Amino acid sequence: VQLQASGGGLVQAGGSRRLSCAASGRTFSRYAMGWFRQAPGKEREFVAAINWSTGYAAYADSVKGRFTISRDSTKNAANLQMNSLKPEDTALYYCATSRSVSTRAIDYDYWGQGTLVTVSS
């Protein structure tokens, strides 16, 4: 299983950014995809996750209403649309896959390499 995260970069506060996670090596219709982030000096935290077959999604309270997770079955990719970005959203963003939607990193068995999002004030 391979996950390739992309789309990170520098964005001003209030701006938007779209992350993508290209996935291969698994029948993802049977799994969930999630996004986590880790800011410097902080622990990795859950951002959002989606059930690939049903589209059910879960979000961290800190991003609810600003971020939207989606999946593109034709490209085998999970996307994270981030709007109204804040400096505290600055972090390395990781995508990962698990058997079901979960907020716990331990439930995810494969991880991408991370893509850096920096939000300037």
Query: What is residue 17's predicted lDDT score, i.e. its pLDDT?
Result: 98
H helical segments located in the chain? none
The DSSP bridge pattern shows strands 57-59 and 77-82 to be unpaired
How high does pLDDT run on average in the chain?
Answer: 95
Quick check: 28 pLDDT over 80? no
d(CA 97, CA 11): 27
- The helix/strand/coil state of 106 is helix
Q: Are residues 116 and 19 in contact, defined by beta-carbon separation less than 8 angstroms? A: no
Task: Give the sheet arrangement for strand 2-6, strand by strand.
Answer: 2-6, 17-24, 77-82, 67-72
Query: What is residue 27's predicted lDDT score, i.e. its pLDDT?
Result: 76
How does pLDDT run across 73-93, given as a tens digit for each residue? 888 999 999 999 999 999 999
d(CA 45, CA 74): 28
How does pLDDT run across 97-113, given as a tens digit for each residue? 999 999 999 999 999 99
Question: Is residue 45 packed enough to be buried (19+ CB in 10 Å), middle (13-18) or exposed (0-12)?
Answer: middle
How does pLDDT run across 38-66, given as a tens digit for each residue? 999 999 999 999 999 999 999 999 999 99
